[in-house]
Structure 1
Amino acid sequence: MMRYDFIIAISLFVIASFLFIGVIYLFTRKEQLSGLKLTGIFVLANAIFAAFYAAFILNDFEVQKLLFNHIQHLAIPYLTTLWFLISLRLLNRQRKIKVTYYLFLFFIPFLTMISNFLYVSNGQWFQTLYYTSHEMIAYHGVHWEGYNVIIYQKGLMYYIQAGFNLFVLGLTTFNFYSSYRRSVFLAKSRSFILFIISFIGFGLITTQVISRESSPIDTTPYFTSLFAFVLFFALFHYELFDLVPKAYQLIFEKSLSPIVIMDETFTLVSMNEKAKELFINQKEYPHGLKLGDLCGSDEPICDELLKNHHHEITLLIEGKNKYYSVELQVLANHFLGQVNNGYCAIFYDITLQKEEFIKMERMASYDSLTNIYNRRYFYRLATEAFDLAQIEHKNLVVVMFDLDDFKVVNDIYGHQAGDYVLEEMALIVSQKFNSNGIFARYGGEEFVYMQTGVNISEIKNTILEICEALANHPFVFANRKMKITASFGVSGTKKAIKKSLDTYIKEADDMLYCAKGNGKNQVFFTKEIQ
């Protein structure tokens, strides 16, 4: 003979299985959709209710039936509260619900759950708050095999919970109606569906309040499970399955900028096609790959991104430097006062802008003919070096030199020959001077060099070598040989600095003119460093 309790239990187990699959799906989604996790909890509560009510129906032993009823009440008292919170989220997706508000809403359901756990038939007053007593009844039919059910006598806490449910469902119905009034298109349709469901739920709870006894067969798990399925599709049908995910995916995949998605530890989750092209060696990225590893950077790139939300990086691609500005977007999920973050890093190619900036910066800092510093940039670097030398009690040397009779070169050989001489001379001198010094074109055919923390004897020898090297170098332009010499003036100190930078430059310039006045092609030193 057919057992109807078996049919009911199997159907509820099937429903619960689908609900549990839905829970797993909702909690493993990467999208930060409003109400997603809240809906997952609601569906989970319905799954627990359906599964353990099925176990309650299928079992024939009183003790086990009572146990399964207790387990059901891990979920049943919270269903209307969760439904209400979902309506709040739908009504205002930007609103953050405070923890104190959660505590207030879950207080009555929590007391209901505790009172159910404490239930003992005909026990003390605190054990009969939810149910006062129960009776095991065997149902028998003519064409179907009988089964055992438990009929509960409802207690005070049951009616308090029912009243609370009616009040919360009334607010929920109003929220869905308000959402329906202010929404358009798809949102208006789904708000109307949820409004109708809330209204039906209100009616179901009203019928439960009328009776003093529980029903032999409770149809509520079917209705609440139906609510869960309808909620799931009404709220997230387009967001999770149709237009919105396809739009997001299309924007992500077809973006002209490389995009990398990471979890809260900056571990790679996904990347679009442009990112795979950029990080050519990471088309199949290993598990646990970090953003810093992906960029091949030893810099604390993640710390910089968290601090400033953007960071410039340089990548070596096909032997050339490519510059990218990395912008960090925080994918924050607020739930129960906790924030779980994921991250989206967007790589903007700024190579052209960076190269143009470098070019402009070089133009502002370097002499275009000789490729050494210009006068303005010399003063900037020299001032910084001078101040540091004062702090560290180091000495310095300032060298001023000028090409002898350079005007004659321009007049006889032409300005192109003069440019060649300046360029060639700068190359020769740069190779002789220490790279720690600052070498610049001071103006016209006059040049300056400054270095701190020097060995006076060595620098004097170097300057004399340069003077001799220029005089002996064969300057040839358009097959025409030119004789080029230079006069040098050197100032400075063997010990700590005691004068201003401008004073040392003027003293070196004075020595330069002394060298020129005494026959040129020679070096004059101030008394301090002789």
Structure 2
Amino acid sequence: MIPERILLITINIISTLVASFAFISVLRKQEKAGNAATYLAMVLAATAIYAAGYAMELASNTLDLILFWVKIEHIGIELIAPSWLLFALTMTGRQKYITPGRIVGLFIIPFIVLLSVFLGKFHLNPQLTANAPFPTLTYQRGFFAWLGIGYLSAYLGISFIFFILMYQNSAPAFRKQAQVLLISSLLPWIGMIISVTHHAPYNLDLAPLTASISGIIYFTSFQRFQILDIVPLARDVIFEGMGDSVLVLDNFDRIVDHNHSLIGIFPQVTPSIIGLPFQKVFPQYPTLVKMVEDHSPDIVEIQVQSDEKSSYYRCTLLPLSGPHGEVIGKVITFHDYSEVKLLIDQLSTLATIDNLTGIYNRRYFYELAQKELSRAERHNQYLSLIIFDLDFFKQVNDTYGHAAGDAVLAKVVEIFKQRLRKYDIMGRFGGDEFLILLPETNLDDASELAEELRITLEHSIITYEDHSFLIRASFGITGTPVTDPISFEDLVQCVDDAMYKAKKKGRNRIHVYSPEERNETLSRSS
């Protein structure tokens, strides 16, 4: 037996073994990858049959024996193209087009061609090549031969187009996968064209060799990138009708894929993040990282700041499960709820802020004040309360109208807010009365602030349209002693009484409520 013949037989035997090994390995992925693994296994099994049959054909010396092994080869040949097309449909997210009826339809022409092979209608006038160093088959192509070439070209061509579209429209991880699939689709096609056009030496069939190479390439790739472990199952979730942005992780929290809309949210989302740990790509969102690490089903809200605006997203973590319920990855969805957040903030503002002055309304001021009072009692800290009322404010409303009165109130609040600390709390008590809560402040410091506010207002001229106003105010001040707890309602009663005492003394002044006055007031109320 000549060396070239031994080499060709050896290559096809190796191809058979590799395809068989890949077939067994892919079957083990079937539980996780579902139909994608099933169809790929069919392709590899068919390739193994094809390569084994061709190895035996090359080892045969008689026409009858060669024709026998050619029939065996065609069992594999007629399975490859429809199985590969089914695999292409699955991997490119077109599973919905796969129905039992269509599967049967895909195999009708291959079955007819296979039947023609066994009935002797495919290879017309078969004979051994006269000028070859070892026996090879030559024959005339009839209708069934061209039918076989036609459907093989069509099935492989359609698969190739699907993978091109997948490459163009996919996120980065799918582009890597599509590159592998494109090469795997192209090689058998090239081998078939070379053989059909008689460009192979000694009329050899290169298709089993190129098909085996395709199988090796794809098998090596999915072993390396674990494509079948996660992507086929995630694809429908990601690319079929998802309005939200989506990120797919494997069981080690490595980024496997994402859809295009995620790129518009996070500037760090580039092709280079594929395969990186989630924690490394999104360190600025600790609540999101914690959700991933804890496998938490809770919804996490994050704020994403861009140059133009802030956006708000609700993030949900969903387990990605295999056909039998085993977890093979995670899917994070990012739902943009910026408009809802804006509406909630607006409603919250309406519920907590006085619309005229922009400070807290009475209800919310009381709520915050109760918390500060409880904190002061827990930590044995001072807390002071100031109330002020604009003197003769009714005359402004009666003389110049309520619009002028509103402008005066807003301006007074603006002037006083500039004198307060960031943690002081100011609220509208009602009408032209206002409260200022001063955490960690004793009565002496509170009275100094009240006097400063009074003098500032006294030296201010407030204008509205063509009118100028000299506004004065009367202030009452009280506070909580460290050792004597008091309710906030009692505190308000005391400070209100202090303000009226300031008015009785002539207005435009402050009155600090002494402990004796406080005790007298509280004893009367009890």
TM class by shorter chain equals 0.5 to 0.7
2:34 is the alignment partner of 1:34:
yes
Q: Are the structure 2 counterparts of residues 37 and 500 from structure 1 closer, same or farther at C-alpha, using a change threshold of 3 Å? A: same
2:310 is the alignment partner of 1:321:
yes
2:326 is the alignment partner of 1:333:
no
Please state how far the C-alpha of 1:496 moved relative to its aligned partner.
3.2
Decide whether the 8 Å contact of 1:328 with 1:343 is kept in 2: yes
User: Aligned equivalents of 2:323 and 2:237: distance in 1?
Assistant: 26
Please state how far the C-alpha of 1:452 moved relative to its aligned partner.
2.8
Please state how far the C-alpha of 1:320 moved relative to its aligned partner.
1.3
Please state how far the C-alpha of 1:529 moved relative to its aligned partner.
9.3
* Cross-structure match for 2:125: none
Decide whether the 8 Å contact of 1:394 with 1:453 is kept in 2: yes
2:421 is the alignment partner of 1:439:
no
What is the one-letter code of the residue matched to 1:318? D
Q: Does the residue aligned with 2:458 lie in a helix, a strand or coil?
A: helix
Farther-moved stretch of structure 1 (455-464 vs 473-482): 455-464
Please state how far the C-alpha of 1:40 moved relative to its aligned partner.
8.7
Q: Are the structure 2 counterparts of residues 394 and 38 from structure 1 closer, same or farther at C-alpha, using a change threshold of 3 Å? A: farther
Q: Are the structure 2 counterparts of residues 299 and 405 from structure 1 closer, same or farther at C-alpha, using a change threshold of 3 Å? A: same
1:50-199 map, 5 Å: 186-187=99-100
Decide whether the 8 Å contact of 1:13 with 1:50 is kept in 2: no
- CA displacement, residues 367-416 of structure 1 (integer Å, 9 cap, x when unaligned): 11111000010111111111121111222111111111111011112211
Q: Does the residue aligned with 2:313 lie in a helix, a strand or coil?
A: strand
Runs of 4+ in 1 over 6 A off after TM superposition: 2-10, 24-29, 35-52, 188-193, 240-247
User: Aligned equivalents of 2:448 and 2:24: distance in 1?
Assistant: 83
Please state how far the C-alpha of 1:49 moved relative to its aligned partner.
13
Decide whether the 8 Å contact of 2:247 with 2:258 is kept in 1: yes
Decide whether the 8 Å contact of 2:33 with 2:232 is kept in 1: no
Q: Are the structure 2 counterparts of residues 23 and 363 from structure 1 closer, same or farther at C-alpha, using a change threshold of 3 Å? A: farther
TM-score, normalised to structure 2, is 0.58
Please state how far the C-alpha of 1:188 moved relative to its aligned partner.
7.2
Q: 2:391 aligns with which of 404, 414, 421?
A: 404
2:367 is the alignment partner of 1:380:
yes
Farther-moved stretch of structure 1 (293-302 vs 258-267): 293-302
Q: Are the structure 2 counterparts of residues 529 and 463 from structure 1 closer, same or farther at C-alpha, using a change threshold of 3 Å? A: farther
- Compute the RMSD of aligned alpha carbons: 4.7
User: Aligned equivalents of 2:348 and 2:22: distance in 1?
Assistant: 60
User: Aligned equivalents of 1:397 and 1:266: distance in 2?
Assistant: 52
Decide whether the 8 Å contact of 1:395 with 1:495 is kept in 2: yes
1:342-357 map, 5 Å: 342-357=329-344
Q: Are the structure 2 counterparts of residues 25 and 503 from structure 1 closer, same or farther at C-alpha, using a change threshold of 3 Å? A: same
User: Aligned equivalents of 1:319 and 1:189: distance in 2?
Assistant: 51
Decide whether the 8 Å contact of 2:247 with 2:333 is kept in 1: yes
Q: Are the structure 2 counterparts of residues 287 and 46 from structure 1 closer, same or farther at C-alpha, using a change threshold of 3 Å? A: same
Farther-moved stretch of structure 1 (443-452 vs 16-25): 16-25
User: Aligned equivalents of 2:61 and 2:498: distance in 1?
Assistant: 128
Farther-moved stretch of structure 1 (296-305 vs 308-317): 296-305
2:410 is the alignment partner of 1:423:
yes
Q: Does the residue aligned with 1:285 lie in a helix, a strand or coil?
A: helix
* Cross-structure match for 2:353: 366
What is the one-letter code of the residue matched to 2:320? L
Q: Does the residue aligned with 1:280 lie in a helix, a strand or coil?
A: coil
User: Aligned equivalents of 1:44 and 1:390: distance in 2?
Assistant: 77
Please state how far the C-alpha of 1:294 moved relative to its aligned partner.
4.2
Please state how far the C-alpha of 1:356 moved relative to its aligned partner.
1.0
* Cross-structure match for 1:495: 482
* Cross-structure match for 1:17: 18
What is the one-letter code of the residue matched to 2:303? T
1:179-258 map, 5 Å: 186-187=99-100, 248=235, 252=239, 255-258=242-245
- CA displacement, residues 143-199 of structure 1 (integer Å, 9 cap, x when unaligned): 9xxxxxxxxxxxxxxxxxxxxxxxxxxxxxxxxxxxxxxxx9834787999xxxxxx
Please state how far the C-alpha of 1:285 moved relative to its aligned partner.
3.0
* Cross-structure match for 2:286: 299
Gaps of 5+ in 1: 58-140, 144-183, 194-232
TM-score, normalised to structure 1, is 0.57
Please state how far the C-alpha of 1:442 moved relative to its aligned partner.
0.8
Q: Are the structure 2 counterparts of residues 485 and 321 from structure 1 closer, same or farther at C-alpha, using a change threshold of 3 Å? A: same
Decide whether the 8 Å contact of 1:309 with 1:327 is kept in 2: yes
Q: Does the residue aligned with 1:308 lie in a helix, a strand or coil?
A: coil
* Cross-structure match for 1:157: none
User: Aligned equivalents of 1:502 and 1:254: distance in 2?
Assistant: 57
Farther-moved stretch of structure 1 (240-249 vs 488-497): 240-249
What is the one-letter code of the residue matched to 2:34? S
Decide whether the 8 Å contact of 1:314 with 1:324 is kept in 2: yes
User: Aligned equivalents of 2:282 and 2:289: distance in 1?
Assistant: 11
User: Aligned equivalents of 1:355 and 1:285: distance in 2?
Assistant: 34
User: Aligned equivalents of 1:297 and 1:454: distance in 2?
Assistant: 37
- CA displacement, residues 285-341 of structure 1 (integer Å, 9 cap, x when unaligned): 345544455456241313235223421111012231111111222112377x9x443
* Cross-structure match for 1:394: 381
* Cross-structure match for 1:310: 299
Please state how far the C-alpha of 1:522 moved relative to its aligned partner.
0.7
Q: Does the residue aligned with 2:441 lie in a helix, a strand or coil?
A: coil
User: Aligned equivalents of 1:251 and 1:288: distance in 2?
Assistant: 18
User: Aligned equivalents of 2:361 and 2:488: distance in 1?
Assistant: 17
Decide whether the 8 Å contact of 1:260 with 1:344 is kept in 2: yes
User: Aligned equivalents of 2:479 and 2:10: distance in 1?
Assistant: 100
User: Aligned equivalents of 1:9 and 1:284: distance in 2?
Assistant: 41
* Cross-structure match for 1:479: 466
User: Aligned equivalents of 1:529 and 1:34: distance in 2?
Assistant: 83
Farther-moved stretch of structure 1 (385-394 vs 352-361): 385-394
User: Aligned equivalents of 1:303 and 1:191: distance in 2?
Assistant: 49
User: Aligned equivalents of 1:401 and 1:360: distance in 2?
Assistant: 28
Please state how far the C-alpha of 1:41 moved relative to its aligned partner.
9.7
User: Aligned equivalents of 2:287 and 2:234: distance in 1?
Assistant: 34
User: Aligned equivalents of 2:10 and 2:378: distance in 1?
Assistant: 87
Gaps of 5+ in 2: 63-96, 107-154, 167-230, 518-526
